[in-house]
Amino acid sequence: MDIKHLRYFVAIVDNNFNLSRTSQNLYISQPALSMMISEFEMRESIQIFKRSKGKIVGLTYTGENYYNDAKDVIKKYNEMNKNLHKPEKTITGNISIGIPPLILSVLFPKVIPKLILNNPTINFSIVEQGAYSLRNELLLKNIDFAVLLYPEGIPQNVIDSFEIYRSELAIFLSSEHKLAKKSIISWQDLHNENVITFDKTFMIYHQLKDAFERHHIYPSIIFESSSWDFLFHSAKSNKNLLTLLPLPTGEQYLTKDFVCRKIKDPIPWRVTLCRLKKNNYSSVENHICDALLEEFKV
């Protein structure tokens, strides 16, 4: 029986097996009620009602047990529906999220305000540092979440890591730069070129350093900065400079005088939401984690 038929069954018993009265109370026909009973007993090959002269007069032993179980199921079903429509418990607490400034600007301008407005009883602290620094802050338990780049450089048995965005690093340079003529630039093309990049607090710096060593090239790093805006404008205003940054970051800067070129065998730019593994998370930690993953369709 489904929940509707269970209600019919319990109603028959509660109305002292009077099918006429039961059908009136349930707003269904008496023949339909009788057919429901007969079909159930035939399908299950069991008798739940006692009969006398063709009329239902009581419950069999099996019927008694089924009646008690049916009442429990209906009670639980009603509680389930009540809980479904019950206002959610207000979640309060403090939460700290470390996000690199570049990623904050590119991926979170809508997400963070929405998160704060939708959770007025939660006190948010947004920590803006490079991903390399935020990794240490997470390990020191100074922040609850860190937005990092994969690979995070932290053992997977230490953190939960969820990829929320994927792209790649690209080269941004003046249209007058000699490499601007190429549609795709190889790592070898960067040998001895003047490069400006993020400073050592950013994971991109360390990813680039590893790539230069892996490809046996030695660009001239003439300047390091924590400001991607400075990097873009410096490369744009000097035809002898170039910078390497995530592909989606340059959309607002590109003009006919400032162009983007993809790299052959590029460095992936995989953004991850990370938290330290632990046996139990607070309700506010779980709520914010779920909300962020939902925003990024993870």
The CATH number of whichever domain residue 257 belongs to comes to 3.40.190.290
Same domain, 68 and 196: no
Give me the DSSP letters along 28-76: S-HHHHHHHHHHHHHHHT---EEEETTEEEEE-HHHHHHHHHHHHHHHH
Closest by CA position to 169, among listed 99, 231, 91, 237: 231
Q: CB–CB of 132/206 below 8 Å?
A: yes
Q: CB–CB of 230/200 below 8 Å?
A: no
Q: How far apart are CA 154 and CA 33, in angstroms?
A: 65
Same domain, 16 and 145: no
Which pLDDT belongs to residue 169?
Answer: 94
Same domain, 263 and 193: yes
Same domain, 251 and 277: no
Same domain, 185 and 259: yes
Same domain, 156 and 281: yes
Same domain, 56 and 101: no
Q: CB–CB of 159/139 below 8 Å?
A: no
Q: What is the pLDDT along the chain (298 residues), one digit of tens a residue?
A: 788 888 888 989 988 989 888 888 776 888 888 888 888 888 888 899 898 888 889 999 998 999 999 899 988 888 887 776 555 668 899 999 999 988 999 999 999 999 999 999 999 999 999 888 999 999 999 999 999 988 888 988 999 999 999 999 999 999 999 999 999 999 999 999 999 999 998 889 999 999 999 999 999 999 999 888 899 999 999 999 999 999 988 877 888 999 999 999 999 999 999 999 999 999 899 999 999 998 988 7
Which pLDDT belongs to residue 86?
Answer: 57
Residue numbers of the domain that contains 223: 167-268
Same domain, 141 and 203: no
Same domain, 36 and 51: yes
Domains in the chain: how many in total? 3
Residues 6+ apart with CB under 8 A from 245: 102, 169, 170, 172, 204, 228, 231, 232
Q: How far apart are CA 174 and CA 79, in angstroms?
A: 66
45 φ/ψ sector (left φ>0, alpha ψ -120 to 50, else beta): left
pTM for the whole thing? 0.64
Q: 93-98 and 145-149: which strand pairing? A: parallel
Same domain, 51 and 111: no
- Phi/psi at 260 (nearest 5 deg)? -120, 140
Same domain, 201 and 241: yes
Q: How far is CA 31 from CA 20, 27, 38, in A?
A: 9, 12, 10
Tokens at residue 131, please? Answer: 């991903």
Which pLDDT belongs to residue 27?
Answer: 67
Encode burial over 238-270: b for 16+ CB neighbours within 10 A, e otherwise: beebbbbbbbebbeebeeeebbbbebeebbebb
The CATH number of whichever domain residue 149 belongs to comes to 3.40.190.10
